[in-house]
Amino acid sequence: MPADAARTDEEWTSLGRSVLLRQLALGARSRHQLDRKLAEREVPPSVASALLDRFVEVQLIDDAEFARMWVRTRIAAKSLSRSSLRRELAEKGIAVELVEDALEQVSDEDEIEQARDVVRRKLRMSADLADRTVREKEMRRLVGVLARKGYNPGSAYSIVKEVIAGAAADAAEGAEPEG
C-alpha cells in the first residue's frame, strides 16, 4: 500500500493547504488552476473541494478579480486582443460570464488604439514605404504580428494599412524641402 493512501483527511488537508498557499505565494491563480495542482498532488477530491471552498470564502481565491487582473496585465505586457485574452482565461477555467465582465475593461476603441501602438512600435523606420514591394512585405509582416496577438485578419490589415499610410505621409512630408 503506498504511503499516500495511509494519510488521514487531516494530513491531506494540511498538505492541500500547503500546496494552495505555496501556489498563491507565487501569484494569483484561478480556482481551476489550483484544483489541478491539488489533483497533481493526489489530494482526494472531497478534501480539495472543501479547501478550495474555504479559500474562496476567505477571499484568497477570487476568479472575478483574477480575470480582471489578468486582462490588465496581459494588455499592458503583451498588447493581446480580447479574443486572445478570452481564450487564455478559458484555459485557466474562468467562467464565461466572469471573462466577459473582465473584458469590459477594454473598449473597441482601446483595442484598436492598442493595435495601432503595436504596429507603430514594430514598423521598421528604415523601410522604404514608397517602394510598393517593400511596403507590401512590411504590411504582411505587421499583419502577422497582430494576428499572433489575436487580432482578426481583416481588422489587422485595416489597422496596418492606416498606420503605414500615416508613416508614409509623415516621411513624404519630412522629405519636402522647406519653403
For the stretch 145-165, pLDDT in tens is: 999 999 999 999 999 999 998
| Contact status, residue 32 vs residue 93, Cβ threshold 8 Å | yes
pLDDT beyond 60 at 178: no
Q: What whole-number distance in Å separates Cα of residue 163 and Cα of residue 179?
A: 27
**Alpha helix ranges (H) inside the chain:** 9-26, 31-40, 45-57, 63-78, 82-91, 96-103, 108-122, 132-148, 153-175
Residue 92's contacts (CB-CB under 8 Å, 6 or more residues apart) are 30, 32, 33, 66, 70
**What SS3 class is residue 165?**
helix
The closest of 21, 30, 120, 128 to 79, measured between CA atoms, is: 120
What pTM does this model have? 0.81
Residues 122-147, mean pLDDT to the nearest whole number: 90
pLDDT beyond 70 at 13: yes
**What SS3 class is residue 124?**
coil
pLDDT beyond 90 at 143: yes
Q: What whole-number distance in Å separates Cα of residue 46 and Cα of residue 15?
A: 14
Q: What whole-number distance in Å separates Cα of residue 13 and Cα of residue 86?
A: 33
